[in-house]
């Protein structure tokens, strides 16, 4: 015990976040001393920060507990219950660190081409990761909101990082205005929860919500506003309008990061809110989630068909993936939640892989994010084309890639809970998604190349592609380890 | 929900009602009863006695916004330091360490801003925006980056 306010557990629980913050500040300062051609050292330092944070998390999946000599404990509570580190939080922290590391790897050459290679970028990315971690382990409304704001404000800045590019500026402004609005709605819902229970602790809120009479209008308003805010953050219809614009306008590497990290963090918050404070009013939010999930899959998949810009198409595909993941919340049983956890991890690898190929397409004077830019890619760079094919197959959910495992568990849970209609709709939309993913594939394999500029696979991109490919295939072919880890994780939050 | 819950708010409602009535009533009375003899000086914008030189709808250098943001950052720091200094003796070593940590977080930001040239008010470095013509107004020199000048909504594909 340090004193009556802080204990050593508090420091230990926050160690990954503290390390990332220190490295973020360090990157800012060392950047001032680096010559323009040495800027890649910023990325090295940021990667070192991610590495140290991962090391401090300890061995998968319950490292922190082992460090504290509390191997049997399910969860560590810190800051008087405001932060709780269970295997759910650790799983998500690993996911965020993986997303941050891969995004940093693919950023280096892209930023050099754009002429915006500065330490701020990596510092902000690390701080966004800190925000996500707090979202995954927070157990208190104020803590959660602080984490959320730290994450989204960092992402707003990264979206507008290309100062000279008007698309980037416009995307950032749209995202900022709509995001601030949705944060306000979410905060309104949180204030209602506080008003109903007199506490910001999620568990105390849960017990006082469960004592309210059924059909209480205040609970209804709280649920609706909180759902609205959360649905915005995961990009679900009808709060999806910002997402394609932000994805298209942001720098390629930021699109990669924001499509994986913040999305997973928003899902962590959503699962926590639905399973702890709002668990007793499942009847209220279930119809909402079902309707939103169907609308999200519909709009996401159908709108993706007409896109000619690959980043925008992946934006709509990200919307539809959020719809599939919401189905896991609808079924709400162990397999459904397990499906969401696996889906998020798998999505991180396959989407970052696909985005890494798009980043490699960015060369001097070529933006490289239109479907036409992919024409005849197989003749110019067979490696890039085949990699893209594998990642797209995985995004569509075709075995033996990892995307199949995520979808399998979610569809299985729908059948288990008797949502046969939803399962049929979801499978039909998988067929639709194949169509638009294969627009890229046909462009790559059957059309003539329009230019001879080969995609530039820098060492960082090679490494990121290698890791993404290995994990996409490994999870697809031998999914047992991740199923086991996700199973433990879900068991820790369902108890 | 108990019946007394909303009754607690009745005094606030009364106060809000009285204030609104008073404000609207005073404005309305002076509008209806007051004599109006407009002249050029009376209709001019009030600028603390200085002659107005134009309206405020101009582009300002982005530096002003930076100054405002930096001000907020260090203002918060100073506000935080004052109460700490008052009870410094009671907080003892722990309070000292905590404040050192806090300043240790803010100080890198200060160093960063300094090295970025934020505090260099005097001249505007236009070398970073090579193809930007400076917009000059009488007595005021403004530099507006291309991004702002040419910003038009891009058509971001169909839905």
pLDDT of residue B44: 76
Question: What mean pLDDT is reported for chain B?
Answer: 75
- Asked if B158's CB is within 8 angstroms of A306's CB, the reply is yes
- Give the minimum alpha-carbon distance from B148 to chain A in angstroms, rounded to a whole number: 8
Mutation target to probe the A interface, by most A beta carbons within 10 A, among B118, B132, B156 is: B156
Mean pLDDT of B82-98: 86
Looking at beta carbons, which residues of chain A come within 8 Å of B158?
306-307
pLDDT of residue A61: 52
**A contact residues 1-20, partner B, Cβ 8 Å cutoff:** 2-3
- Which H, E and C letters describe chain A, residue by residue? CCCCCCCHHHHHHCHHHHHHHHHHHHHHHHHCCCCHHHCHHHHHHHHHHHHHHHHHHCCCCCHHHHHCCCCCCCCEEECCCCEEECHHHHHHHHHHHHHHHHHHHHHHHHHHHHCCCCHHHHHHHHHHHHHHHHHHHECEHHHHHHHHHHHHHHHHHHHCCCCCCHHHHHHHHHHHHHHHHHHHHHHHHHHHHHHHHCCCEHHHHHHHHHCCCCCCHHHHHHHHHHHHHHHHHHCCCCCCCHHHHHHHHCCHHHHHHHHHHHHHHHHHHHHHHHHCCCHHHHHHHHHHHHHHHHHHHHHHHHHHHCCCEHHHHHHHHHHHHHHHHHHHHHHCCHHHHHHHHHHHHHHHHHHHHHHHHHHHHCECCECCCEHHHHCCHHHHCHHHHHHHHHHHHHHHCCCCCHHHHHHHHHHHHHHHCCCHHHHHHHHHHHHHHHHHHHHHHHHHHHCCCCCCCCCCCCHHHHHHHHHHHHHHHHHHHCCHHHHHHHHHHHHHHHC
Looking at beta carbons, which residues of chain B come within 8 Å of A165?
147
- Asked if A166's CB is within 8 angstroms of B151's CB, the reply is yes
CB-defined contacts A:B, below 8 A: 48
Mutation target to probe the B interface, by most B beta carbons within 10 A, among A170, A249, A305, A439 is: A170
A115 touches chain B (CB under 8 A): no
Among the partner residues B109, B153, B157, nearest to A309 by beta-carbon distance: B157
Among the partner residues A29, A165, A167, nearest to B108 by beta-carbon distance: A29
Among the partner residues A2, A29, A312, nearest to B157 by beta-carbon distance: A312
pLDDT of residue B156: 42
Among the partner residues A3, A167, A312, nearest to B94 by beta-carbon distance: A3
A273 touches chain B (CB under 8 A): no
Q: What is the mean pLDDT of each run of 10 residues along chain A (495 residues)?
A: 65 88 93 86 94 82 51 71 86 93 93 86 95 94 95 95 90 94 94 92 91 87 94 91 92 93 94 90 91 94 92 93 94 91 94 93 78 86 92 91 93 93 93 92 87 82 94 92 86 76
Looking at beta carbons, which residues of chain B come within 8 Å of A23?
none
Q: Confirm if A141 and A195 have CB atoms less than 8 A apart.
A: no
pLDDT of residue A127: 96
Among the partner residues B94, B147, B156, nearest to A248 by beta-carbon distance: B156
- Asked if B145's CB is within 8 angstroms of A32's CB, the reply is no
Which of A309-313, A322-326, B79-83, B155-159 is the least confident region?
Answer: B155-159
pLDDT of residue B140: 47
pLDDT of residue A301: 94
- Asked if A169's CB is within 8 angstroms of B145's CB, the reply is no
pLDDT of residue A330: 92
- Asked if B157's CB is within 8 angstroms of A307's CB, the reply is yes
Among the partner residues A2, A32, A309, nearest to B115 by beta-carbon distance: A32
- Asked if B147's CB is within 8 angstroms of A163's CB, the reply is yes
- Give the minimum alpha-carbon distance from A22 to chain B in angstroms, rounded to a whole number: 9
pLDDT of residue B154: 46
């Amino acid at each position: 015990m340090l004193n009556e306010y802080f204990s050593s557990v508090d420091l230990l629980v926050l160690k990954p976040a503290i390390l990332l913050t220190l490295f973020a500040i360090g990157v800012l300062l060392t950047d001032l001393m680096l010559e323009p051609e040495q800027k890649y050292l910023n990325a090295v330092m940021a990667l070192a920060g991610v590495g140290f944070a991962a090391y401090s998390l300890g061995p998968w999946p319950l490292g922190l507990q082992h460090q504290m000599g509390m191997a049997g404990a399910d969860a560590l509570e810190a800051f008087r219950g405001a932060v709780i580190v269970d295997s759910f939080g650790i799983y998500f922290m690993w996911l965020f660190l993986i997303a941050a590391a891969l995004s940093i790897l693919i950023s280096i050459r892209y930023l050099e081409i754009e002429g915006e290679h500065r330490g701020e970028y990596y510092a902000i990315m690390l701080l966004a990761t800190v925000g996500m971690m707090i979202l995954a382990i927070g157990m208190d409304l104020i803590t959660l909101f602080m984490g959320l704001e730290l994450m989204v404000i960092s992402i707003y800045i990264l979206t507008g990082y290309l100062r000279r590019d008007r698309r980037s500026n416009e995307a950032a402004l749209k995202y900022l205005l709509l995001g601030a609005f949705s944060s306000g709605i979410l905060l309104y819902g949180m204030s209602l929860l506080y008003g109903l229970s007199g506490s910001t602790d999620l568990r105390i809120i849960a017990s006082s919500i469960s004592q309210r009479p059924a059909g209480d209008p205040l609970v209804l308003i709280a649920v609706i506003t909180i759902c609205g805010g959360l649905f915005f953050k995961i990009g679900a219809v009808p709060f999806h309008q910002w997402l394609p614009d932000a994805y298209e306008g942001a720098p390629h590497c930021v699109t990669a990061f924001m499509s994986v990290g913040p999305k997973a963090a928003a899902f962590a918050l959503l699962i926590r809110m639905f399973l702890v404070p709002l668990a007793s009013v499942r009847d209220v939010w279930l119809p909402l989630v079902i309707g939103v999930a169907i609308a999200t899959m519909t709009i996401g998949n159908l709108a993706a068909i007409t896109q000619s810009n690959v980043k925008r198409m992946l934006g709509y595909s990200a919307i539809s993936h959020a719809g599939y993941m919401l189905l896991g919340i609808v079924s709400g049983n162990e397999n459904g939640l397990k499906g969401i956890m696996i889906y998020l991890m798998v999505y991180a690898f396959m989407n970052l892989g696909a985005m890494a190929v798009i980043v490699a397409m960015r060369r001097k004077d070529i933006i490289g994010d239109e479907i036409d830019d992919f024409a005849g890619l197989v003749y110019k760079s067979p490696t890039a084309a085949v990699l893209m094919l594998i990642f797209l197959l995985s995004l569509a959910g075709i075995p033996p890639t990892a995307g199949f495992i995520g979808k399998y568990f979610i569809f299985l849970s729908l059948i288990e809970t008797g949502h046969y209609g939803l399962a049929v709709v979801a499978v039909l939309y998988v067929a639709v998604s194949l169509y638009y993913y294969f627009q890229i594939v046909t462009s790559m394999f059957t059309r003539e190349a329009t230019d001879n500029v080969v995609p530039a696979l820098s060492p960082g991109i090679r490494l990121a592609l290698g890791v993404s490919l290995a994990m996409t295939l490994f999870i697809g072919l031998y999914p047992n380890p991740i199923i086991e880890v996700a199973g433990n994780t879900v068991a820790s939050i369902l108890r | 929900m108990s019946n007394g819950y909303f009754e607690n708010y009745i005094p606030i409602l009364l106060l809000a009602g009285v204030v609104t009535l008073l404000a609207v009533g005073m404005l309305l009375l002076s509008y209806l009863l007051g004599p109006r003899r407009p002249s050029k000086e009376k209709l001019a914008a009030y600028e603390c006695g200085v002659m107005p030189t134009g309206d405020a709808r101009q582009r300002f250098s982005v530096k002003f916004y930076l100054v405002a943001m930096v001000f907020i950052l260090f203002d918060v720091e100073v506000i935080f330091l004052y109460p700490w200094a008052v009870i410094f003796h009671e907080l003892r070593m722990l309070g000292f360490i905590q404040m050192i940590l806090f300043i240790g977080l803010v100080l890198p930001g200060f160093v960063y801003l300094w090295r970025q040239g934020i505090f260099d008010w005097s001249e505007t470095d236009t070398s970073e925006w090579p193809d930007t013509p400076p917009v000059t107004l009488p007595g005021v020199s403004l530099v507006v980056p291309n991004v702002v000048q040419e910003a038009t909504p891009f058509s971001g594909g169909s839905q």
